[in-house]
Amino acid sequence: MTTKSTYSIGQLCELAGVSRRTLQHYDDISLLKPTRRKDNGYREYTEADAMKLKQVLIYRALDFSTKEISQLLNAKNFDLFKSLKEQRELLAEKKADIESMMRNLDENLESMKAKTSRNLDILYEGIPKEKADHWKKAAESRVGSERWESNLQILGSMSEDEAKEFKQRGDVFYAAYADVLDQAISAPEVQELVAQFIAGINSLYASSITDFEELNYETCLEIARMSVEAEDVKQAYDFYGDGLAEHISEAITYYAEENLRRP
Partner DNA sequence: CCTCGACCTGCACGTTACGTGATAGCCAAG
Partner DNA sequence: CTTGGCTATCACGTAACGTGCAGGTCGAGG
The binding track of 30-59 with respect to a second copy, each residue x by CB under 8 A or -, is: ----------------------------x-
Q: Which of 2, 3, 40, 210 binds a second copy (CB under 8 A)?
A: 210
Nearest alpha carbon to residue 14 among 23, 5, 27: 23
Residue 24, contacted partner among a second copy, DNA, none, CB below 5-8 A by kind: DNA
* Least distance between DNA and beta carbon 31 (Å): 8
164 binds DNA (CB under 7 A): no
* Least distance between a second copy and beta carbon 200 (Å): 18
Phi, psi of 228 (to 5 degrees): -105, -30
Contacts of 16 (CB under 8 A, 6+ apart): 50, 53, 54, 57
- CB nearer a second copy, residue 80 or residue 187: 80
Nearest alpha carbon to residue 155 among 146, 144, 166, 145: 166
Q: What is the DSSP letter of 214?
A: P
- CB nearer DNA, residue 31 or residue 236: 31
4 binds DNA (CB under 7 A): no
Buried b (16+ CB within 10 A) or exposed e, 210-225: eeeeebeeebbbbbbe
60 binds DNA (CB under 7 A): yes
33 binds DNA (CB under 7 A): no
Residue 103, contacted partner among DNA, a second copy, none, CB below 5-8 A by kind: none
* Least distance between a second copy and beta carbon 231 (Å): 24
Q: What is the DSSP letter of 37?
A: E
* Least distance between DNA and beta carbon 34 (Å): 7
Contact by Cβ (8 Å): 226, 245 = no
Stretch that binds a second copy, among 5-13, 28-36, 148-156, 246-254 (CB under 8 A): 148-156
**Number of other CB atoms surrounding residue 180 within 10 Å:** 20
Contacts of 120 (CB under 8 A, 6+ apart): 136, 139, 140, 152, 155
Q: Which of 15, 29, 84, 199 binds a second copy (CB under 8 A)?
A: 84
Residue 61, contacted partner among a second copy, DNA, none, CB below 5-8 A by kind: a second copy
Nearest alpha carbon to residue 239 among 177, 147, 169, 149: 177
Give the residues lining the site for DNA (CB under 7 A): 8-11, 19-22, 24-25, 27, 29, 38-43, 60, 65-67
